[in-house]
Structure 1
Amino acid sequence: MTIKACAHVPAAPAASTSTGCQECLAMGDTWVHLRTCLHCGHVGCCDSSKNKHATGHFKSTGHAVVQSAEPGEDWRWCYVDERQVG
């Protein structure tokens, strides 16, 4: 599978701002996997988590591209194009 470049990926991706889902930590909840917003560094939980904060962050900000924050995983997802991107 070829992973195509995406115009939504920021030229200078932001660094992670947390070691856990920021909203889940604030409410004392748990998550399954973490995603880092490449636009601002926000860390949110994935769609397999009950709160889906990473997708919520996209919907509220329009920040289109996240990267897996899981150890050993190196992939990016564009919410606008609905596909894995390079």
Structure 2
Amino acid sequence: MSIRPCSHVPDHPQAPADRGCRECLAMGDDWVHLRTCLHCGHVGCCDASKNKHATRHFHATGHAVIQSAEPGEDWRWCYVDDRQVG
């Protein structure tokens, strides 16, 4: 399976705005993995985390593409297309 380009990927992807999930940090909670919104730089926790803040951010903003914020991982996911994208 090849990773295809996606029209939802922003022309100028934003760098992570935080070092952790902002919402979890404010709640004093923890997370499993982190994801960065490429549209605005929001850092949220993944769907394996109990709070799922990255997905909640997508539903609140419509920002479609996230990237793993984990060291050594270099992949992107589009919520709209429901697939890994290039």
TM-superposed deviation, 1:78: 0.1
Aligned equivalents of 2:83 and 2:2: distance in 1? 11
Q: CA RMSD in A?
A: 0.3
1:33 aligns with 2:33: yes
Aligned-residue identity in percent: 78
Instruction: Spell out, residue by residue over 1:23-73, the C-alpha distance to the aligned partner (whole angstroms, 9 max, x if none).
Output: 000110000000000000000000000000000000000000000000000
- Aligned pair count reads 86
Question: What is the CA–CA distance in structure 2 between the aligned matches of 1:50 and 1:2, rounded to whole Å?
Answer: 30
What TM-score do the two structures reach when normalised by structure 2? 0.99
User: Runs of at least 4 residues of structure 1 off by over 6 A?
Assistant: none
Q: TM-score, normalised by structure 1?
A: 0.99
- What secondary structure does 1:8 align onto? coil
Map 1:2-81 onto structure 2 (within 5 A): 2-81=2-81
Give the 3-state SS of the residue equivalent to 1:47 in structure 2.
coil
